[in-house]
């Protein structure tokens, strides 16, 4: 039996949070005795083609390395992708029966194409939902209506839905989806990837944040301001920020850092590959998860939080969404109110002054990584869920 993960929201094996979730799903399915195939359905121009990563087969049916200068040729290439994917899925199904197509997409065309594949090959279509379905449809009544129509269609044209939060489970139930077609799959993490290896990338201790670098969504400016408030009392501690940001956002970061007079103590990393960023995460003295308290935070669960906890390093997180369902301040993590600079600064100071006690707290936090958030444990539940669907 085999499982296919398909979508246009991720690259593979390198990528962002969506890629990390796909990777944990795939590894869990593989370790539970299933062949796993990951189909990157986006129209990305890539230098590297199909391959195998940790026993997981991956494919890029678009298959273009450079952008053709002719409009018509480009459109033909995108059309051909659909036929190539159909042939690929047929071959995979002939080789070893596909029990489910797991899809990650924001595009309704991709959704219905995958639904078509599921019908043709008589398998199940499972939708991954890790964000609020209407997060991109908030501006204007017409846009909001189109988002609701899209959600209605996508939630009906599938066999099951993985939801990353109780909020999303309840949201689907409130909109007519049967509970038997829903499965809560919280953030999943492979703790072995975060074991500390080798030497620290810096000769100094540092507070680390690694993820999307934005003010509006991830509220990284909150951490910068809180760090500035405590940096004089902890001159040996630096701040290291790593992740993707646009040139405009990078300019905003540098302006804020300069205005707080901490430019000599803050390192702003360029985008790094996944294996490279793991080194920076695992060697951090303290890790901080910040995020805005908004609709997106209510519905989702930050994967970087479970990755931080997997390192066994002390972790401070803002309390957004359902984080407090799993983590309690001073028990298995340090939790502060969101968008509160003073609260975060005080917690930074407390952890740095009580570091050995903080390490004991982080050890208790890691217990959830070995159980609730463990990728293998969740993969077993997902396979049982697939089997339960009629």
> Count of CB atoms within 10 A of residue 103's CB?
26
DSSP assigned state of 40: E
Q: What is the dihedral of CA 192, 193, 196, 199, to 10 degrees?
A: 150
Residue 270 pLDDT greater than 90, yes or no: no
pLDDT at 14: 82
222 CB neighbour count, 10 Å cutoff: 23
Can you tell me the distance from the alpha carbon of 358 to that of 193, in angstroms, rounded to the nearest whole number?
22
**What are the tens digits of pLDDT across the range 61-84?**
999 999 999 999 999 999 999 999
For residue 75, what pLDDT is reported?
94
CA separation, residue 314 to residues 308, 357, 360 (Å): 8, 9, 8
- Domain architecture of the chain: domains with CATH: 2-188+375-388 (3.40.50.2000), 192-369 (3.40.50.2000)
Measured from the Cβ of residue 217, the count of other Cβ atoms closer than 10 Å reads 14
Lowest mean pLDDT among 134-143, 221-230, 373-382: 134-143
pLDDT at 217: 83
Cβ atoms of 238 and 265 within 8 Å: the answer is: yes
Q: Could you give the C-alpha distances from 266 to 153, 208, 216, in angstroms and in order?
A: 47, 10, 20
Alpha carbons 91 and 96: distance in angstroms, whole number: 9
Q: On the CB side of 381, how many CA atoms lie within 13 Å of its CA?
A: 17
pLDDT at 136: 87
Q: Which of 243, 250, 253, 249 is nearest to 211 (CA)?
A: 243
Share of the chain above pLDDT 70, in %: 100
pLDDT at res. 311:
94
Judged by DSSP in three states, 166 sits in helix
pTM of the model: 0.91
CB 338 within 8 A of CB 293: yes
């Amino acid at each position: 039996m085999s499982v296919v993960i398909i979508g246009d929201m991720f690259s593979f094996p390198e990528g962002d949070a969506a890629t990390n979730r796909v990777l944990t799903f795939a590894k869990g399915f593989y370790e539970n005795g299933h062949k796993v195939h990951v189909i990157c359905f986006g129209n990305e121009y890539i230098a590297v083609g199909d391959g195998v990563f940790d026993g997981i087969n991956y494919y890029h049916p678009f298959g273009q390395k450079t952008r053709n200068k002719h409009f018509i040729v480009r459109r033909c290439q995108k059309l051909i992708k659909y036929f190539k994917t159909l042939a690929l899925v047929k071959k995979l199904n002939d080789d070893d029966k596909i029990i489910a197509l797991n899809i990650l997409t924001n595009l309704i065309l991709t959704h219905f194409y995958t639904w078509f594949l599921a019908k043709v090959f008589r398998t199940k279509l499972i939708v991954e939902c890790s964000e609020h379905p209407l997060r991109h449809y908030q501006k204007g009544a017409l846009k909001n209506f189109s988002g609701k129509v899209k959600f209605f269609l996508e939630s009906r044209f599938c066999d099951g839905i993985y939801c990353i939060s109780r909020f999303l489970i309840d949201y689907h139930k409130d909109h007519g989806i049967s509970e038997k077609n829903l499965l809560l799959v919280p953030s999943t993490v492979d703790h072995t990837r975060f074991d500390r290896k080798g030497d620290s990338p810096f000769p100094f201790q540092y507070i680390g944040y690694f993820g999307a670098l934005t003010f509006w969504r991830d509220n990284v400016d909150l951490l910068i301001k809180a760090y500035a408030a405590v940096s004089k009392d902890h001159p040996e501690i630096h701040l290291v920020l790593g992740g993707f940001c646009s040139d405009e956002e990078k300019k905003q970061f540098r302006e804020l850092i300069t205005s707080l007079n901490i430019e000599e103590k803050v390192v702003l990393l360029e985008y790094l590959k996944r294996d490279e960023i793991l080194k920076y995460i695992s060697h951090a003295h303290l890790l901080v998860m910040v995020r805005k308290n908004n609709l997106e935070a209510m519905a989702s669960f930050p994967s970087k939080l479970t990755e931080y906890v997997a390192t066994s390093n002390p972790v401070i997180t803002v309390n957004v969404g359902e984080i407090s369902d799993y983590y309690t301040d001073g028990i298995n993590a340090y939790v502060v109110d969101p968008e509160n600079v003073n609260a975060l600064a005080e917690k930074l100071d407390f952890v740095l002054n009580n570091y050995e006690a903080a390490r004991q707290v982080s050890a208790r936090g890691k217990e959830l990584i070995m159980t609730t958030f463990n990728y293998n444990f969740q993969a077993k539940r997902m396979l049982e869920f697939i089997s339960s669907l009629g």
